[in-house]
Amino acid sequence: MSDTHKLEPGQRVNLAAIPADGKDYHDNRKQAEKEFKKLREEFRDLQARLYAEDKRQLLIVFQAMDAGGKDGTIRAITQGVNPQGVRVSSFKAPNKTELAHDFLWRIHPHAPARGMISIFNRSHYEDVLVVRVDNLVPESVWRPRYDHINNFEKILFDSRTTILKFYLHIDREEQRERFQERVDIQAKNWKFSFEDLEKRKQWDEYMAAYEEMLEKTTTDYAPWYVIPANQNWYRNLAIERVIVDVLNKLDPQYPSPVGDLRRVVVE
């Protein structure tokens, strides 16, 4: 069940043909939310064990169109985890210093250390998405980056990093409704930007960029999952299923105590 939305290497991707509605995969919201809460408790335990074991690490990447739900997803799935063992990094437009280096220079320091879970809110994939759609660099620069990204992720994988990549798939109508909420609801006004409306005009160009990105960078060691994200309750469940399944397969263990503790009495 955790592989429902997983892409396979070499698979052609047509996002218009992939349902963005979670209701196409689950018809009972209450049941889904109950399962999600149970999985989140399991995730908390597995994360604590991964941190204590201090041998392997997990990288979780989130990409989506604007209003796709990256922030809400991260809040939902990580509620209650040990903050010492989880680090969230958000990647906005690169600054002058970052632009003076190769495009992966600003990313690598945020890769997880042993025992850690790193979560990327946007990521190195912006450099084959926004730079392509907005023509910030020529195709001769951004196209080789698919191979650079695959090689970068292979380095992480060979260093015992498990990599999970999630594309939060909403349709254009859902994005319209979410943008309108940002305008209509005062508490959400701060989220609205007129730039969002300009980006919305580039929907088709972004879909083409995302489809090629998903096709070129889905690998055995760093798979992409296309998660139906029109409904938050299904989105959260589908992602937590994958994370918990992967951590269970890693089966992290608490280290054995140093010495015999049976006779230790703390006074």
The sheet with strand 161-169 has its strands ordered as: 86-90, 117-121, 57-64, 161-169, 224-228
- Quick one: 29-250 is in which CATH superfamily? P-loop containing nucleotide triphosphate hydrolases (3.40.50.300)
pLDDT digits (tens, 9 = 90+) for 7-22: 999 999 999 999 999 9
pLDDT of 1 > 80? The answer is no
How many alpha carbons fall within 13 Å on the CB side of residue 182?
15
Domain ranges of the chain: 29-250
Nearest to 133 by CA among 20, 193, 210: 210
**126: confidence class by pLDDT, cuts 50, 70, 90:** very high
Tens digit of pLDDT for each residue in 58-103?
999 999 999 999 999 999 999 999 999 999 999 999 999 999 999 9
Given the DSSP bridges, would you call strands 86-90 and 161-169 parallel, antiparallel or unpaired? unpaired
Instruction: Name the percent of the chain in helix, strand, coil, to the closest 5.
Output: 50, 10, 35
Mean pLDDT of the chain: 96
- Extract the tokens encoding 216: 């070129």
Out of 89-93, 194-198, 232-236, least confident range = 194-198
- Per the CB < 8 A criterion, the answer to whether 7 and 226 are in contact is yes
Separation CA 204–CA 81 (nearest Å): 38
How far apart CA 147 and CA 200 sit, in angstroms, is 28
For residue 229, which of 87, 65, 7, 32 has the smallest C-alpha distance?
65
Cα R_g (the chain), whole angstroms: 20
